[in-house]
Structure 1
Amino acid sequence: MYNGIIYDITERKEAEETLAKVELARKKEVHHRIKNNLQVISSLLDLQAENLGDEWIREVLRESQNRIMSIALIHRELYRDREDNVNFSTYIRELAENLLGTYRVGDSKISLCMDLEENILFDVETAVPLGIIINEIFSNSLKYAFPDRKCGEIRISLLRKKTGEPEGDSFSERKGQSFETNTNFVLTVSDNGVGIPESFKMGTTDTLGLQLINVLVEQLDGSIRLNRNRGTEFVIEFAVQRCGK
């Protein structure tokens, strides 16, 4: 009897492990296909841009390419990993490197300083909007903060802070779920460039990139703050239900 029970448990565990491997392979294939399809779209936009003489339209297409690339990188990371989460610190480094190459700042004296907490893991629902947000802010710094391209610094910081039971209109309460702890994050992207005019207001901007930032911060149930001290600084705070470390 005992041998039969042990056999049943062993057989069940083996079946569960097999199913888990099949599910992992299926997910990896999905992420691989999404990444490849996004790269095809990006290549088509690149070909289209080469045949256009209007510099403004070419810039619009390049911005679209960068947004697509920011999403494709996430699916590449998910394809590489055995888990369902993106190592976001690694992702930010790759995204920044790609954008520096896109805007050809390698020969300039614009430096990049990053303060990234290691092993921050986000699922795709958090990683995609956050990746696009970073893409938009970082691209704006590269395009507008240093008109003469002589020198400057862009800084990216992503850190977490743990809190106890959420209070008031908390992230977990808005989602209708209850958690013992909430993991809060602070993303800061700043530069010491020419700055943004005092007349500029985040809530009333008609710029597509900044409108995207507002919408995606709201999607993350987060908040955004703009500081104009010695350049431009965007501070985004948001919470996640679960985060690996």
Structure 2
Amino acid sequence: MCIRDRYTAEEFNKFDNVSWANHIHPEDREKALGELRTFQEKENKFRIEYRFRKKDGSYIHVEDSGVYQRNEDGSIRKSFGVMKDITGIKLASEKLKESEARYRSFMKNFRGIAFQMGLDFTPILVDGNIEETTGYRRGDFIFGKADWYQIVHPKDREQLFENRERLVNDPLLLIEHEYRIRHRDGKLRWVREIIQNVSDPTGKKRILQGTAYDISKQKEAEESLAKVEEIRKKEIHHRIKNNLQVISSLLELQAEKFNDIEVLEAFRESQNRVATMAIIHEELYRSKNNETLDFSAYLQKLTADLFHSYTVRKGDVNMQLDIEETFLGMDTAIPLGIIINELISNSLKHAFPSGRKGEVCIKLCRTEENSENKSISKIINNIDDKSSVDKNIQYTLVVSDNGLGFPENIDFRNTSSLGLQLVNILVEQLEGTIELEICSGTKFKIWFKETCQSSEKVSSIKGEIQ
């Protein structure tokens, strides 16, 4: 037997029942002797487990099993048995139980949901804070009483399917995304899911594994902060607009003290430049999204104000607008607005002298984004998918008139005109390019990219201001 390496055979053969019983661990002794008495009374075989003291005083786990030979009257004549050292098995079993207990404790306190599923999206394992997050029990998902995809908000379901299909097709992909689910009580909740490919326990098959966390409170806090920030920004735009209007009024009052035509013209041009910026802040104040400006609506108001400023007689000069509905960030809208203000002002001042009739045209359109600059990341994050940020859209602005034409002896890139100097500086600020065409009038073409925000909606607006 295995304990002979602790006791010699001669030493062990000297053990009587009392000596043997004294070698059983005190915590196991009563139970082991009680089980043994039960076997002796009723059975022909026995099997018990207990801790046995070794020669050095330490204990090992043993399995003591054997058979009884009985006399005709049922009394025991002899017993044959084996004591086997099962310490390794016992310790492994105890560690397994401890590990299982730790896992149960971890999952009990885990604030999310852990899951595994096959590549066909069939649930394999679901555990964690399931009932609090969804209102359903663990078994509802495992046994098909509840379907995770059915509780996902219909508007988020398609994106969820697409992302998981990507996972199936790309073993190295990790996806983190957010979407809404419908709790059993009918309320919507936000969850953040992180999911990736792993190997199953055999190491032969690929499965999907991930976690999902309820982030509803975080989303509510973010929405509250966003509303506060939106109100704050609107108030800032409103104050800037009011301050610019005060400046414009001061310029107008100051201009009344002068009679010189050139001085008055300089004041009017300055007023128009201030108004150009004021209108942008007014539009941002009124818009639902105070980060971007509906530039097409802004241009209609700007050009109408310019016609009023230069007191163009109705029917003499028409304004033609051919503008795509374009949403621009303030960093692009302000310099672009000033550029258009200067070019339109030049046309109204110089292209149609002595009551000459004609028209001024503005065309704004965008080209397709440069697909060559796109890259595909191995980590897909769709948290900000709804952002309007797009740095790859190029716009073309054309401001033209059919008036007298631009003087051939003037280089518009190198002139003493403050207005044209501003145009060139601001085009450079937009990292754009500008060209002049002189053919039956004047035509300026400007190409630029939106550096902050871009349009998600594109439609055509064509109108006429007289």
TM-score by length of 2: 0.48
Q: 1:158·1:185 contact (CA, 8 Å) conserved in 2?
A: yes
Partner of 1:172: none
Is 1:36 aligned to residue 258 of structure 2? Answer: no
CA distance in 2, matches of 1:102, 1:28: 27
Q: Which moved more, 1:5-14 or 1:42-51?
A: 5-14
Is 1:109 aligned to residue 316 of structure 2? Answer: yes
Is 1:208 aligned to residue 415 of structure 2? Answer: no
Is 1:223 aligned to residue 426 of structure 2? Answer: no
- Where do 5+ consecutive residues of structure 2 fail to align? 1-128, 135-188, 190-213, 374-388, 458-466
How far 1:200 sits from its partner (Å)? 1.3
* Among candidates 296, 300, 304, match of residue 89 of structure 1: 296
Q: 2:391·2:449 contact (CA, 8 Å) conserved in 1?
A: no
Q: 1:162·1:181 contact (CA, 8 Å) conserved in 2?
A: no
4+ long deviations beyond 4 Å: 1-8
Q: Which structure has more helix as a fraction of its residues?
A: 1
Q: 1:164·1:180 contact (CA, 8 Å) conserved in 2?
A: no
CA distance in 1, matches of 2:221, 2:342: 45
Q: Which moved more, 1:125-134 or 1:81-90?
A: 81-90
Q: Which moved more, 1:217-226 or 1:146-155?
A: 146-155
Counterparts of 1:79-228 in structure 2, within 5 Å, are 79-83=285-289, 84-118=291-325, 120-165=326-371, 182-228=392-438
Structure 1 residue matching 2:440: 3-state secondary structure: coil
Q: 1:165 to 1:3 in 2, by over 3 A?
A: same
Q: How many pairs are equivalent?
A: 233
Partner of 1:17: 223
CA distance in 2, matches of 1:23, 1:181: 24
CA distance in 1, matches of 2:216, 2:430: 42
Percent identity over the alignment is 49
Q: 1:112·1:155 contact (CA, 8 Å) conserved in 2?
A: yes
Q: 2:437·2:443 contact (CA, 8 Å) conserved in 1?
A: yes
Q: 1:180 to 1:27 in 2, by over 3 A?
A: closer
Structure 2 residue matching 1:115: 3-state secondary structure: strand
Aligned-pair RMSD on alpha carbons? 1.9
TM-score by length of 1: 0.90
User: Rg larger in 1 or in 2?
Assistant: 2
* Among candidates 232, 235, 245, match of residue 445 of structure 2: 235
CA distance in 1, matches of 2:398, 2:341: 13
Counterpart AA for 2:321:
M
Q: 2:400·2:441 contact (CA, 8 Å) conserved in 1?
A: yes
Higher RCO (Cα < 8 Å, 6 or more apart): 1
Q: Which moved more, 1:189-198 or 1:66-75?
A: 189-198
Q: 1:131 to 1:180 in 2, by over 3 A?
A: closer
Structure 1 residue matching 2:281: 3-state secondary structure: helix
